[in-house]
Amino acid sequence: MKDRNITNWYPTSWQGKTAGQQPLYADQAEVDRVLAQLSKMPPLVTWGEIESLKKQLAEAARGERFLLQGGDCAESFEDCRPDTIANKLKILLQMSVVLIHGMQKRVIRVGRIAGQYAKPRSADIEERDGKALPSYRGDLINRAPFTEKDRKPDPHLLLRGYERAAMTLNYVRAMGEGGFADLHHPEYWQLDFVKDSQLEKNYRHIIETIRESLSFAETVSGRKIQEAGRADFYTSHEGLHLLYEQAQTQYVEEVDRWYNNSTHFPWIGVRTAHPDAAHVEFFRGIANPVGVKIGPDTTADEISQLVDILNPDDEAGRLTLIHRYGYRQVEEKLPILIEAVRRTGKTVLYSCDSMHGNTEIASNGLKTRRFENILSELNIAFAVHKSEGSHLGGVHVELTGENVTECTGGARGLTDDDLERAYKSQVDPRLNYEQALEMAMQIAEK
């Protein structure tokens, strides 16, 4: 492995910089005890897996693969249940099959899963009826109910989060290996409530085509294609809570590198992606592939700095820029991003998060996103990359395998009035199962 040109870094070096979005704990000694425990726990992922993913991301940057990254805005501890996890895997699997079929490319499946428990908030304090309490920051930090006790940051939740992540990942791994993900049996992933969906016919057709091609290839070669019997899933989350991430970062002597073993692929959120601040400092030293969200306020100068700081050696697969401009601004801003990266002379993987720039408040006060706007940002992003001589190598979506009503539009034509029926997200609105599948079909058709 090539040497990395990282100097003056250690897992705590970020502590000398400004760290945004960190909880304020009342009892530092208790936090220290929890972190000491956490740092002795087994790694959730291994450095070998992390490096395999990095290789695949390098292929995506070259246009040979496509990155599908998706999951909840925030996982909750309560949703650490077999059905919820399986449904999330099912929709990611189905989307990936649709994409493979349409794009004729291998797809990298990355969940926002097994650790997506900490959320950045625009306000530190939430007010209700004249009462002010700390904002809910995700199950890793405090609890959602609006009471003083629930909103107090609790360091023990860091341990509960690690355990939930481990349990989730254990189930994800078992399903990825076993018959569940077997392309010979796509019926295993079928979700009951789509039986009457308009998308069903289209999806069935894709599955039948794949099944026939697979069977043809196996007949001709005279052997079973083992690869089709299993599926790789990788994990990702926003690496927001730096003490938590730091506690799971370990040195690997064989390769002389530090890995953050809490997830394969951590990313920096748009609110904490300042080149001089703590998150970038922490991410600079870990050897994982890393993502950075790029928003409408990120300047060209900041982009160049981020690329240089986070990928000084131009290591293939190391850096993914996840742009999230919103459908109104993407056409204007994306060329600036592409040009800023080009000036660094380095290669990145571009992925489009078409969710976070398209959040709005519906007529009934609920946070929502419109399917047509989400799709429109994606379509524009594909076109702009093409005309700028670069290419979009991935998508980043907030979705769930459940039949929720949080985003409007899609084949079923959900309206603002439908939102209240099954709105479950504590934070951002997610595409439901059908909308997610439809999104994959629309991308694949392009």
Binding residues for ligand PEP, rule: CB under 6 A, are: 73, 120, 238, 269-271, 293, 324, 356, 428
- Residues 395-434 contacting Co ion, CB under 5 A: 428
Q: Which does 120 bind (CB under 5 to 8 A by kind): ligand PEP, Co ion, none?
A: ligand PEP
- 107 exposed, middle or buried (CB, 10 Å; 0-12, 13-18, 19+)? buried
Secondary-structure percent of the chain, ordered helix, strand, coil, rounded to 5: 45, 15, 40
Nearest approach in angstroms of CB 192 to ligand PEP is 29
Q: Among 438, 441, 432, 428, which residue's Cα sits nearest to residue 324?
A: 428
- Residue 34 or 270 having the CB closest to ligand PEP: 270
Q: Which does 59 bind (CB under 5 to 8 A by kind): ligand PEP, Co ion, none?
A: none
Nearest approach in angstroms of CB 120 to ligand PEP is 5
Does residue 438 touch Co ion according to CB under 5 A? no
- Residue 71 or 186 having the CB closest to ligand PEP: 71
Q: Which does 391 bind (CB under 5 to 8 A by kind): Co ion, ligand PEP, none?
A: none
Nearest approach in angstroms of CB 323 to ligand PEP is 9
- 131 exposed, middle or buried (CB, 10 Å; 0-12, 13-18, 19+)? exposed
Query: How many Cβ atoms sit within 10 Å of the Cβ of residue 333?
Result: 21
First to last CA, the chain: 37
- Residues 42-101 contacting Co ion, CB under 5 A: 73
- Residues 279-308 contacting Co ion, CB under 5 A: none
- Residue 315 or 428 having the CB closest to Co ion: 428
- The CB-side HSE value for 225 (13 A sphere, CA atoms) comes to 17
- Residue 92 or 207 having the CB closest to ligand PEP: 92
Q: Which does 269 bind (CB under 5 to 8 A by kind): Co ion, ligand PEP, none?
A: ligand PEP
The SS3 of residue 157 is helix
Q: Which does 293 bind (CB under 5 to 8 A by kind): Co ion, ligand PEP, none?
A: ligand PEP
- Residue 271 or 328 having the CB closest to ligand PEP: 271
The SS3 of residue 397 is strand
Cα 65 → chain centroid: 17
Residues in contact with 329: Cβ distance below 8 Å, sequence separation at least 6, in sequence order: 296, 357
Nearest approach in angstroms of CB 141 to ligand PEP is 14
Beta-strand relationship, 349-353 and 65-71: unpaired
Q: Among 419, 403, 398, which residue's Cα sits nearest to residue 83?
A: 403
Nearest approach in angstroms of CB 233 to Co ion is 20
State the residues that interact with Co ion by CB under 5 A: 73, 428
